[in-house]
Structure 1
Amino acid sequence: MRPLDWISHSLPRTLRGKLLLVSLAVVVLPISLTGYLLEREGRQALVREKSEKLFGLTRLLDLHLGPGFDPLLSEMGIAGSDRETAIRALSGRLTPFTDMVAGANPGVGVGYYSRALDAIVTYGPSRDYSATVGTSIPPEHPGWHVLESGKQAVESGRQVRGFILNAMLPIVRDGRVIGYIWANELSDDVERQAAAMDRAVLTVCLAGILLGLALTQVLARGVGRDIRHIIDGLLRMRSDLAEPIEPPAGEVGAIAVEVNAMARALLDARSLTENILHSIADGVIAVDRTGQVAALNPAAETMLGITAAAVIGRPYESLFKPDGQFASPLLDTLKTGRQHVGVTLDFPGTRQTLHLTVSSSVLRDSHGGAIGAVVVLKDLTEQQRLRTQIMRADRLAALGELVAGLAHEVRNPLTSIRGFMQFLESSDDVAEWQRYAPLIVRQVDSLNRLVTELLEFGRPRPPAFQPVQLNDLIREVSLLAGRKSNARIALNLAPDLPLVEADGEALKQVILNLIINAIQATSETGEITIVTAMAEDGREAAREAVVMVTDDGEGIAPENLDKVFDPFFSTKPQGTGLGLAMAHRIVDAHHGTIAIVSVPQSYTRVTLRIPFVHSRTVEA
């Protein structure tokens, strides 16, 4: 494990632990560092104070010495005597003063060292250190450094009288170092004073640390209590957003106030959403990622004849018959993530089959992750029933018009036949019979053609869908129809037009009727244009083939545009009025549309739209 990871895992997880850790950083460490610096500075100040005191004593001894050791010996009349005599004489002269100075400063030892005699001349208090008089200092003694350098020095360590703090002042006379004076104090005394100072500093530091930890603990406990209060309130809000959190004092209370405000806003938004879902007439069903029903609105309950309490938490498949024939757009969206819009299908409900238009989409959380799917159901069952009634009424009305038109179309040939037969009934002339017999036959043929077209219109056979190349079909029909007129037929066919699932023979009849109508409406020098294209609305299953037949003939009067697809309506003297009606029925059988746009004395354009695929299931 890396050091940073180890530190991260070692840190406390609770707020109280983190506050205590912070207190160690902001209280214990500064106080400890401050105590250490105070102790160190105190020791140094104590040493400086002791050093100044000891150097003060050495300067006092230096003043008492006067001109030096040799002048004192001359004054006592023993100049040039041997070493031992000189040492005793100088000791006898200087010891009273060193004893007086040492006596005035308990624990302090003072004395003179003569470089010429290489001996301690005096060491006070003499009662303790007289035995050292006349001895030489060892070569490693720091006094030699003072004698050689001529500079005062302070040394701490073991010397003649033990562990001491020793201040040494060189004795300089006439520019020469003739010895040095010392004043020292036992280290035990210094340590006792330093230890007393350390205890005082440590006591203050410990008191500060304990007070800081205590205050931190109290603060952490208070903050932890406030946060626990907010957490408990948030847990209650999971089940009831209307229950606010009682805000504590301080900044944590401000957090609680903001949480309450957000909860109220969320509650208002949820209420608005619920009101919208309850008020809309379309059914809405939501499922989670596992396909379990998570929510549905009252419209869906009424539509499917179920209750929310009975189906929430159950699989979505339980809402329809498990016959394996129904391809659910909602389950497809949940599985693939694809959106379905406006898919019309028959929903096999457990009580009845419903004719619905459904739209499904993925439900996502605030981070864009999928959490389920939702479907909107629009019931078309009643609309379909009303549409069926309207179509039945339309068929009855059309049947009435058909009967009226048929009666009119049949009456004219029958009237002619009856007149010819009445005339020939009283005639014995064979020539008369031969003259009028062809007329009678033509009238009978006209009736036969009318009955044949009527039968084809009234009993259309179901289309036999097969892949058809629409461009080839148009070329063939236009070639046949073009022989009946000198009008020019121009083809503008899309080269990439896919195959169409259609009844080729039926479509030939439609296009042939359109071309013949265009030829009849166009002069001998006119032009007829046939265009094919591919239209799509962004969904693969909705692609359509488009065929436009345009002529530059006389056009259709505006008042007749709504009647051109009615049976027996025709503006041509020899027309039966069944051609466009049959074309309309064939296009309907192909789930397509046919529309006419016409400007009198300018042009007429007929537009067919035929879906490429008919045998598709209800999927996206």
Structure 2
Amino acid sequence: MRLDLRRLLPVRTLRVRLLVTSLIVVALPIALVALALEQEGRQALRSEKEAKLFALARVLDAELGPGGYDALLADLPSGTSDRGEAIRHLNRKLAPFTDRIADAAPGVGVGYYARKLDAVVTYGPSRDHSNTVGLSITPDHPGRIVMDTGEPLAAVGTLVRGPILNAMWPIIRNGEAIGYIWSNEYSAAIEKQASAIDFAAVVAGLGGLVVAFGIISLLSRRLSREVDVIVQGLARLKHDLRRPIPPLRDELGAIVEAINAMAKALLDARSLNENILASVADAIVAVDPDGRITAVNPAAEHLYGVVSTDVIGKTYRSLFASDARVDSVLLDTLATGRVHAATTIDLPRGDQTLRINATSSVLRDGDGKRIGAVVVLKDVSERERLMVQVMRADRLAALGELTAGIAHEIRNPLTSIRGFIQYLDECESLEEWRAYGPLIIRQVDSLNRIVGELLAFGRPHPPRIGTVDVRHLVEEMAFLARGKSDARIALAFEPDLPTIEADGEALKQALLNLIINAIQAIPDGGTVTVSARAADDDHVVVTVKDDGVGVAPENLDKVFDPFFSTKPSGTGLGLAMVHRIVDAHGGVITLDSKPGVGTTIEMRLPIAHREAEVTP
């Protein structure tokens, strides 16, 4: 189970956590060391006691002499075989020595045990243990193990004397264990000394903890003060990047320097951004995910008629009257994530409505998380008014050119008619009337043709939409055009050419006009190439290319103007009519020409016809 200190500590300050963590880190080794010292002390104490007791046993063994018990029993009267008398005789011989050894080592009991007699011979000090002389040890007594194995043994337990540490030494004579010597000491005395060692270890451990706590407390207090300086400095920087954190020493000083450097860089970047926003002529407004305004530049203040300090934190809709209909690309981007680019919208402002180009996008943080949206607004009301004026001027200029063209085209036939009438007014010959009458009629027909083309150009009919096979249409118009010239006409079609929705008759008129113009522009032996292909999934392109004389660069911008023509007999309404037809279908017509190389005209027509959309 994982220990969570934060749940155990009511005060979750850095200093408290440092103190608790440091104490745990310090206390654990100190406790382990104290425990190890206690165990080592106890083990050393027992080893020392065993060494002392075995030393006493070896002294007693040496005192017994090489002859052992038999040598001491040799002076018994001959014929004496009484066990009790033998034990008493050995006791008289050995008791003075065991008592002297016991007196020299207070608290220690020593004695001899004779295996043949199976009895305690002596147990010193005799004044305390004389009553044990002559007794036999129990069958499970460790002394019997010592006599059986011939190996010394130290054992703790309750024996004849009581709870003791007993060191037993075998008496080996002529390779045989004839008994054993013991030297023992009360366990209570040993435990008292061990307890003293334990107490010393505990005192040393606690002393170490107290010293460690004092040192840790001093260090943590200093570290806590320095960390508090950083924390308070960061809190100030949150509101004012111009107030750096006071310098500190060591590693924390390096951290403070890095924080101050980052704050300075952030301040510089913020100042740069503010300067950029302030200098941008377009209005910029940013909002957070809840639609509340987070940034407004001076241009936006002027556009909305507000002050940034009054609107920061308010909703974007609060910039408008409560009853105003707001079609906001900013709020749409915020809700859907869809980006708007140069979208024209109406922005209500007081008693007027401004025409605005709006571009909106999503704002994201460094991790790519959406944090709001921003919109850039450009007031194009004045520009649109100027464009209307320019377009009006262009229309007036075009009307002037159209009027001049009409006057020029009509004046020539009228002049001829007037001349013929004046001549015939003075002429009385019927033959001359018959000769000049057809000329006058041809001039009138020319006037009628010009007026008819002018009416067709000025009053176009809406296209009659139907399904048109582009390949069949091109082949049919190429066949008709071949009858008007000996020029070579080549056709090229892309496989699987789709049908389109269009006015077939209008397209025939436009295509025939283009092919005839191309034929008229090439010298004898030239080639006109007509091709059709699918440009994409939505458009078909029909191209008419010739290798004729081409169009001069200065005339390229005029070829689709009414009454502009480089042909002596042309009215200049053919290409203008073609342009009108392509526009009515929602298509695009382009012309590319180089003098002496040829001309290429391309009609790009939509496959599916769409009605023109009118945006209020």
TM-score by length of 1: 0.87
Which amino acid letter does the alignment assign opposite residue 492 of structure 1?
Answer: F
1:105 deviates by 0.9
**CA distance, structure 2, for counterparts of residue 439 and residue 198 of structure 1:** 146
* Native 8 Å contact 1:320 1:348 kept in 2: no
Alignment correspondent of 2:40: 41
1:237 to partner: Cα distance:
2.3
- The aligned counterpart of 2:491 is 490
Q: What is the distance in 2 between the residues matched to 1:467 and 1:322?
A: 49
Q: 1:319 touches 1:349 (CA, 8 Å); kept in 2?
A: no
User: Where does residue 450 of structure 1 map in the other structure?
Assistant: 450
Of residues 570, 575, 580, the one that matches 2:570 is: 575
2:172 equivalent in structure 1: 172
SS of the equivalent of 2:338 reads: coil
- Once the two structures are TM-superposed, the CA of residue 137 in structure 1 deviates from its matched residue by 1.3
Q: Shift of the alpha carbon at 1:43?
A: 1.0
Match of 1:29 in 2: 28
AA in 1 matched with 2:142: P
In structure 2, do the counterparts of structure 1 residues 36 and 122 end up closer, same or farther at CA, with 3 Å as the change threshold? same
SS at match of 1:75: coil
Map of 1:51 onto structure 2: 50
Question: Which of 588, 596, 606 is residue 601 of structure 1 equivalent to?
Answer: 596
In 2, distance between residues paired with 1:207 and 1:264?
49
Higher mean alpha-carbon deviation, 570-579 vs 12-21, is at: 12-21
Task: Name which of structure 1's ranges 237-246 and 17-26 shifts more when overlaid on structure 2.
Answer: 17-26
The answer to whether the 8 A contact 2:470-2:500 is kept is no
C-alpha distance in structure 1 between counterparts of 2:497 and 2:370, whole Å: 39
Match of 2:403 in 1: 403
Mapped to 2, the partners of 1:371 and 1:47 lie a distance apart of 75
1:237-316 equivalences in 2 (<5 Å)? 237-316=237-316
Counterpart position of 1:436: 436
Contact 1:166/1:182 (8 A) holds in 2: yes
| Aligned ranges 1:139-218 → 2 under 5 Å | 139-218=139-218
Deviates more, 1:490-499 or 1:209-218: 490-499
Which residue in 2 is equivalent to 1:413? 413
**Counterpart Cα distance in 1 of 2:615 and 2:497:** 27
8 Å contact kept, 2:342–2:359: yes
Which residue does the alignment assign to 1:372? 372
> Post-superposition shift, 1:49?
0.9
| 8 Å Cα contact 2:493-2:533 kept in structure 1 | no
Q: Is the deviation greater in 585-594 or in 278-287? A: 585-594
Asked if structure 1 preserves the Cα contact closer than 8 Å seen for 2:283 and 2:376, the reply is: yes
CA contact (8 A) 1:550 1:605 kept: yes
Alpha-carbon distance, 1:53 to partner: 1.1
Q: Corresponding residue for 2:74? A: 74
Deviations 1:169-225 (A, max 9, x none): 111122221111111111111111111111111110121123334433444444344
8 Å CA contact 1:485–1:524 kept in 2: the answer is no
Q: Which position in structure 1 is the counterpart of 2:516?
A: 516
Say yes or no: does 1:557 pair with 2:552: yes
Structure 2 counterpart of 1:26, one-letter code = V
Shift of 1:296: 2.8
Following superposition, the deviation at residue 97 of structure 1 comes to 1.4
CA distance in 2, matches of 1:494, 1:193: 112
- After superposition, the C-alpha distances for 1:592-611 in whole angstroms (9 at most, x for unaligned) are 65432212232101234557
Deviation, 1:62, is 1.5
1:100 alignment partner, SS class: helix
CA, structure 1 residues 19+314, in 2 after alignment: closer, same or farther (shift >3 Å)?
closer
C-alpha change, 1:522 and 1:367, in structure 2 (3 Å) is same
1:233 to partner: Cα distance: 2.5
1:146-188: CA deviation from partner (whole Å, max 9, x where unpaired): 1111111111111111111111111112222111111111111
For 1:591 and 1:301, locate their aligned partners in 2 and report how far apart those are by CA, in whole Å: 41
The DSSP-based 3-state class of the residue aligned with 2:74 is: helix
Q: Work out whether residues 304 and 349 of structure 1, in 8 Å CA contact, stay in contact via their aligned partners in 2.
A: no
SS at match of 2:349: coil
The Cα shift of 1:560 comes to: 3.0
Q: Cα 1:292–1:453, aligned 2, differ >3 Å: closer, same or farther?
A: farther
CA RMSD in angstroms, aligned pairs only: 3.4
Between 97-106 and 219-228, the greater mean CA deviation after superposition: 219-228
% same residue: 53
Kindly state the Cα deviation for residue 472 of structure 1 after the two structures are TM-superposed. 6.6
1:485 & 1:182 partners in 2: Cα distance?
A: 148
CA drift at 1:264: 1.3
Q: Output the amino acid matched with 2:349.
A: T
Q: Are the structure 2 counterparts of residues 265 and 463 from structure 1 closer, same or farther at C-alpha, using a change threshold of 3 Å?
A: farther
User: What are the superposed Cα offsets for residues 377-409 of structure 1, whole Å, 9 maximum, x if unpaired?
Assistant: 333333333333333333333333333333322
**SS of alignment partner, residue 47 of structure 2:** helix
Deviation, 1:587, is 5.1
SS state at 1:164 partner: strand
Is the CA contact 2:346–2:353 (under 8 Å) kept in the aligned structure 1?
yes
**Conservation of the 8 A alpha-carbon contact between 2:548 and 2:597:** yes
Contact 2:530 2:544 in 1 (8 A): yes
Gaps of 5+ in 1: none
Aligned to 1:135, the other structure's residue is in SS state coil
Deviations 1:337-373 (A, max 9, x none): 3333344x24333344444443322211111122222
Q: Could you say which structure has the greater relative contact order, defined with CA pairs below 8 angstroms and 6 or more residues apart? A: 1
Q: 1:228-249: per-residue Cα shift (whole Å, max 9, x none)?
A: 4323322332222222222443
Aligned to 2:64: 65
Query: Matches of 1:98 and 1:84 in 2, distance apart?
Result: 20
CA distance in 2, matches of 1:170, 1:369: 88
Aligned-pair CA distance for 1:260: 1.6
Residue 559 of structure 1 deviates from its aligned partner by 3.7
Deviations 1:422-454 (A, max 9, x none): 121123333322322221121112222223333
Corresponding residue of 1:97: 97
- Contact kept, 8 Å, 1:482 with 1:489, in 2: the verdict is no
Q: CA deviation at 1:478?
A: 4.8
TM-score normalised by structure 2 residue count: 0.88
Residues 23 and 339 from structure 1, CA distance in 2 versus in 1: closer, same or farther, beyond 3 angstroms? Answer: same
The residue type paired with residue 530 of structure 1 is V
Residues of 2 paired with 1:490 and 1:94: CA distance? 146
Q: Deviations over 1:75-104 (max 9, x none)?
A: 354674311111112211211111111111
Contact 1:462 1:589 (8 Å CA) reproduced: no
Cα 1:211–1:544 shift into 2, 3 Å: farther
3-state SS of the aligned residue for 1:484? coil
Give me the whole-angstrom Cα distance separating, in 2, the residues matched to 1:326 and 1:610. Answer: 37
Aligned counterpart, 1:119: 119
Contact 1:346–1:353 under 8 Å retained in 2 = no
Distance in 2 (alpha carbons) for counterparts of 1:131 and 1:90: 15
Q: Is the 8 A contact 1:597 1:606 kept in 2?
A: yes
- Match for residue 349 of structure 1? 348
CA contact (8 A) 2:470 2:499 kept: no
Distance across 2 between alignment mates of 1:330 and 1:510: 45
Distance of 1:493 and 1:517 partners within structure 2: 24
